[in-house]
Amino acid sequence: MIEPSIQGVIARNSHPAGCAAFLRSWAARCRAPNSSSALSAGPRVLVLGASSGYGLALRTVLLQEYAARTLGVAYERGPSGQYSGSAGWHLSAAFAELAAEQGLPGETLMLDAFAPASRQTVIETIRRDFGQVDLVVYSLAAGQRTVDGRKVRSAIKPAGAPYQGYQLDLATDKLQPVTLEPASSQEMADTVTVMGGEDWQQWMTALQEADVLAPGARSVAFSYIGPASTWPLYRDGTLGQAKADLHQRAQQINAQLQTLGGGAWVVVAKALVTKASIFIPGMAPYLMALYAVMKEQGVHEDCLDQMQRLCRSELFAEQVHTDSDQLIRLDDWELAEPVQQAVDARLALLTPDNFMQYGDYQGVKQEFLAMNGFGIAGVDYSDEGA
Ligand code: NAI
């Protein structure tokens, strides 16, 4: 029997049958492929960062609603000895099974996407299995990247002044004060190296040079901007610098893909609980208040909802809609005035003593557990073979 093992905001294990049930619950919320749309005729898609969060959600929508043939890349550990294997590993296995039931490819290569050798492996796999791809989804969230033999680590820090906030401990159900010291210029630069757009651009250049991008090929990567209340922590800090770099590279990648009649966009998505976002120190109070308000106002979306909106309203619509910075904005509901006013009001009152009252702690924790395969309806957790 596998019980959840949590340390702070990190899941130390996962539940295989629970992960499969979690993915199936996403699949069940998708509608059947609509063959009347020319664009929906089985696109061939490469998903970098395919095993969890936004990448997995988009891949699921593409399979279920557009009969996509997908190749995934992720960095996950399988079971060994006492270790259950990471959630992403089991979710990827469940995805492959789901795709196979529909007679479609859905393999995930467990590779370090930052390594040049991995690009070569992926290019060869695309050539062999797909010929070319129509869409490349870049959804990596990583803490480090090896560049020319040097391990570069990202730092989640503010710029200029220290940031004081609160960090969740999901193991003890506590909210604790946290102070983040300002980033050094080296930490800024390193975070841009890990989480900026350089790697995305290298991927797109390598794929284009290898002639595995189909005519009209597109690419999307994800970003976050958030409301002013989060800017000291996010937009103005190391992660925001990295995202600014991503936005700027998107314009260059877009120009590259236009030579194929395609295009590249950054999708600004909503703040949601994922392995990556829950790890950001200081972000939890905002996430909890946001969940509470958006649910109360009936506008809450999860990763799957966001990706359905991306496909239906943008990627497979007549036209892609962007703001003046060429960004696709899926954060419009999050940033709506009534939502942010109510979030600010809650944040002004929220403390370690009352965060369960002003924030949707239960919702956040439940989502965290679910994405690791725990607490899923219909799964028999007492069955040792499950
Ligand atoms: P996640 O942690 O759920 O997924 C990250 C994926 O990257 C996983 O599939 C993981 O296996 C893969 N990965 C990490 N390092 C890798 C490596 N070296 N090689 C291959 N694969 C690797 O994260 P999430 O939240 O879905 O993030 C994806 C993107 O979405 C990020 O760019 C993030 O900044 C962005 N985003 C996230 C938001 C959120 O609230 N979660 C909001 C807006 C944007």
Closest atom of ligand 1 relative to the 113 alpha carbon = 19
Closest atom of ligand 1 relative to the 112 alpha carbon = 19
Measured in Å, residue 256 CA sits from the centre of ligand 1 at 24
- Residue 322 CB partners (closer than 8 Å, separation 6+): 265, 328, 329
Mapped onto helix, strand or coil, the DSSP state of residue 153 is: strand
The per-residue pLDDT for range 53-73, each reduced to its tens digit, is 999 999 999 999 999 999 999
**Pairing mode of beta strands 174-180, 163-169:** antiparallel
Measured in Å, residue 51 CA sits from the centre of ligand 1 at 9
The per-residue pLDDT for range 172-189, each reduced to its tens digit, is 999 999 999 999 999 999
Q: What is the pTM assigned to this prediction?
A: 0.97
Q: Assign residue 216 a region: left if phi > 0, alpha if psi is -120 to 50, beta otherwise?
A: left
The per-residue pLDDT for range 230-284, each reduced to its tens digit, is 999 999 999 999 999 999 999 999 999 999 999 999 999 999 999 999 999 999 9
Catalytic choice (138, 234, 286, 361): 234
Measured between alpha carbons, how far is 268 from 332 in angstroms, rounded to an integer? 9
Closest CA to ligand 1's atom 28: 139
Q: Measured between alpha carbons, how far apart are the two ends of the chain, in Å?
A: 8
Mapped onto helix, strand or coil, the DSSP state of residue 45 is: strand
The per-residue pLDDT for range 123-135, each reduced to its tens digit, is 999 999 999 999 9
Measured in Å, residue 367 CA sits from the centre of ligand 1 at 16
Closest CA to ligand 1's atom 30: 222
**Does the pLDDT at position 382 exceed 90?**
no
Contact by Cβ (8 Å): 308, 65:
yes
Measured between alpha carbons, how far is 289 from 292 in angstroms, rounded to an integer? 5
Measured between alpha carbons, how far is 93 from 88 in angstroms, rounded to an integer? 9
Locate tokens 């966009």: which residue? 265
Q: How high is the pLDDT of residue 41?
A: 65
pLDDT band of residue 38 (cuts 50, 70, 90) is: very low
Residue 69: phi and psi, rounded to 5, are -95, 120
**Does the pLDDT at position 300 exceed 70?**
yes
Measured between alpha carbons, how far is 92 from 85 in angstroms, rounded to an integer? 11
**Alpha-carbon dihedral sign for residues 208, 210, 212, 214:** positive
Catalytic annotation on 234?
yes
Average pLDDT over residues 276-298: 96
Contact by Cβ (8 Å): 44, 10:
no
The per-residue pLDDT for range 76-104, each reduced to its tens digit, is 999 999 899 999 999 999 999 999 999 99
**Does the pLDDT at position 221 exceed 60?**
yes
User: Residue 327: what residue type?
Assistant: L
User: Residue 109: what residue type?
Assistant: L
Cα torsion through 311, 317, 323, 325, rounded to 10:
80
| Mean residue pLDDT across the chain | 95
Output the six-digit token pair for 308: 């359905």
